[in-house]
């Protein structure tokens, strides 16, 4: 059995790739570190976005882990255009996985790249992983394993958030939310 602790980053200053954690976000990261230290995690990987990496820094320091990065865990780009109706657009992509907007990525494409990252992680053979990513991508990963996950579940995510996914021989066995704060 292999375990993936799928983590949404802590509160950040914005959505840009270089957006950092806020003061509150750093406090959340410390609390997250204390939470994660209860589990025997062997490998830590993050989106290359600053806020996702910073989310794991307190944990990695406490546990003596290096934070690896994987571009496939980057946030999904909905559109390259500023859209006032972005929330409606996002909701549509949960029901139409092939829908993409100008300069954006479909849900299917984003999910495929993220799941390929998880598949390669599992092939490393460790028993457990901490994986820091972003809310939209996290919810799309969950949706791949449980089709009932959708827009409402994305809206219900917190910063941070943690889901535990267990795999046996690369196949999902269980999925549950662990973060209750």
Residue 25 is encoded by which pair of tokens? 């976000």
Residue 117 is encoded by which pair of tokens? 């990252």
Q: How is the chain split into domains, by residue range? A: 2-177
pLDDT in tens, the chain (181 residues): 999 999 999 999 999 999 999 999 999 999 999 999 999 999 999 999 999 999 999 999 999 999 999 999 999 999 999 889 999 999 999 999 999 999 999 999 999 999 999 999 999 999 999 999 999 999 999 999 999 999 999 999 999 999 999 999 999 999 999 998 7
Kindly compute the dihedral angle of the four CA atoms of residues 174, 176, 18, 107, in this order, to the nearest 10 degrees. 60
Cα separation, 34 vs 125, whole angstroms: 25
Q: Where are the alpha helices (DSSP H) in 42-130?
A: 50-63, 86-95, 107-123
Task: Reduce the secondary structure of 6-60 to three states and give it as a string.
Answer: EEECCCECCCCCCCCECHHHHHHHHHHHHHHCCCCCCEEEECCCHHHHHHHHHHH
Q: Provide the pLDDT for residue 62.
A: 94
Cα separation, 107 vs 181, whole angstroms: 28
CATH number given to 2-177: 3.40.50.1240
Pairing assessment for the beta strands 43-46 and 67-69 based on DSSP bridges = parallel
Q: Provide the pLDDT for residue 181.
A: 73
Cα separation, 33 vs 179, whole angstroms: 12
CA distances from 23 to 10, 37, 53, 56, 150 (A): 10, 21, 15, 15, 30
Closest among 73, 86, 91, 82 to 154, alpha carbons compared: 91
- Whole-structure pTM over 0.85, yes or no? yes
> 46-69: per-residue pLDDT in tens?
999 999 999 999 999 999 999 999
Contact 8, 95 (CB under 8 A): no
Closest among 2, 8, 4 to 161, alpha carbons compared: 8
């Amino acid at each position: 059995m292999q375990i993936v602790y799928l983590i949404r980053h802590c509160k950040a200053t914005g959505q840009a790739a270089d957006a950092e954690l806020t003061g509150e976000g750093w406090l959340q990261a410390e609390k997250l570190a204390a939470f994660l230290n209860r589990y025997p995690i062997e490998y830590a990987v993050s989106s290359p976005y600053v806020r996702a990496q910073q989310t794991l820094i307190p944990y990695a320091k406490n546990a003596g882990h290096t934070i690896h990065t994987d571009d496939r865990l980057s946030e999904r780009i909905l559109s390259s255009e500023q859209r006032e109706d972005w929330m409606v657009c996002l909701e549509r992509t949960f029901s139409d996985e092939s829908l993409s907007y100008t300069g954006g990525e479909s849900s299917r494409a984003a999910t495929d790249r993220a799941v390929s990252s998880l598949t390669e992680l599992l092939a490393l053979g460790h028993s457990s992983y901490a994986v820091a990513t972003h809310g939209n991508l996290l919810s799309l990963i969950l949706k791949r394993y449980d089709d009932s996950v959708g827009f409402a579940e994305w809206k219900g995510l917190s910063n941070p958030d943690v889901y535990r996914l267990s795999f046996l021989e690369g196949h999902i066995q269980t999925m549950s939310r662990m973060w209750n704060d």
